């Protein structure tokens, strides 16, 4: 049980790293490591011989079960309109989405795009809301036109809720799905994974976006958050085009956002496959009991 708790906490922190390193890593063209999805869930056998998942109730250690902490979004910078705490300097804990309890991975997961912060860093100004410009050897600060001097975008992936529900099966919770539907969904996601893992920007942003849309058209029906992730990616890319096309490394910044999107999508799919694996194992056990 302790290993399961620890892996979930580390998993939440890894998601945070994946989401918040976007801007600072762009220049180096490196990507944060995709979080592991090797979480486990304890089971018990009920009085009828069927396997059930144990109740998941684990105190969130990062916030000590309080559900809130000092806002990480404006901890080191003055930002009156901070999207994470609304300027109050206290915000819901990113690890538990404000509940004080770690998220049950079979039920929910930290948002892959905002990592529980409810916002996404502007790719042009890296969250500072301003840009430095040099003219006649004089450096001046100008408002970032990509994010309208906010430094960030509201996360439409989780709609500000900081977490996402685990993969649904026919619009129902995965825990209530039939074995045949679990197996069918898993097969489709396993088929998608290698194609997603191999995806690379295609030189022009418009061409890359079109290819991504084609690749994820059917998977979006299995994992609806993928569509919202594409929407946020498009917003960020439009901001780059609007305010960053004249800056150095413009194309590299665009490609970096595509790769971050790819890796977050990979994480979401892998998480969903792991959830399916655990549910399939339980469903197969129970199917054998019925015989």
Domain count, the chain: 1
CA neighbor of 115 nearest in space, from 74, 184, 59, 162? 162
Q: Show the domain range for 124.
A: 2-26+35-290
The pLDDT of residue 148: 87
pLDDT under 50: residue ranges of the chain: 1-8, 10-11, 13, 16-17, 19-28
Q: What is the pLDDT of residues 239-261, one digit of tens each?
A: 999 888 887 889 999 999 999 99
Q: How far is the C-alpha of 148 from the C-alpha of 150, rounded, in Å?
A: 6
Q: Which pTM value belongs to this model?
A: 0.85
Give the pLDDT confidence score for residue 80 in this predicted structure. Answer: 63
- pLDDT value of position 28: 47
What confidence score (pLDDT) does residue 86 get? Answer: 80
């Amino acid at each position: 049980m302790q290993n399961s708790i620890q892996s979930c906490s580390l998993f939440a922190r890894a998601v945070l790293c994946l989401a918040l390193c976007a801007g600072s890593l762009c220049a180096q063209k490196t990507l944060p490591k995709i979080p592991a999805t090797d979480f486990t869930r304890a089971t018990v056998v009920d009085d009828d011989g069927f396997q059930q998942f144990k109740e998941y109730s684990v105190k969130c250690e990062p916030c000590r079960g309080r559900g809130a902490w000092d806002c990480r979004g404006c901890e080191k910078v003055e930002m009156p309109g901070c999207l994470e705490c609304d300027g109050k300097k206290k915000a819901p804990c990113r690890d538990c989405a404000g509940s004080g309890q770690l998220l049950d991975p079979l039920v929910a997961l930290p948002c892959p795009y905002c990592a529980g912060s409810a916002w996404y860093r502007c790719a042009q100004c890296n969250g500072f809301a301003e840009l430095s410009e040099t003219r006649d050897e004089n450096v001046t600060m100008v408002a970032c036109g990509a994010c309208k001097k906010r430094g960030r975008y509201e996360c439409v992936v989780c709609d500000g809720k900081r977490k996402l529900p685990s993969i649904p099966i026919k619009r129902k919770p995965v825990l209530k799905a039939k074995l045949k539907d679990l197996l069918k969904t898993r097969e489709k996601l396993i088929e998608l994974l290698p194609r997603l893992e191999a995806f690379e920007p295609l030189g022009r942003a418009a061409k890359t976006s079109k290819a991504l849309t084609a690749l994820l058209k059917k998977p979006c029906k299995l994992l609806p958050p993928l569509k919202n992730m594409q929407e946020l990616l498009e917003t960020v890319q439009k901001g780059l085009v609007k305010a960053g096309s004249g800056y150095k490394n413009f194309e590299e910044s665009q490609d970096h956002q595509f790769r971050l999107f790819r890796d977050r999508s990979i994480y979401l799919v892998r998480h969903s496959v792991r959830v399916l694996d655990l549910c399939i194992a339980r469903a197969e056990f129970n199917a054998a009991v019925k015989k």
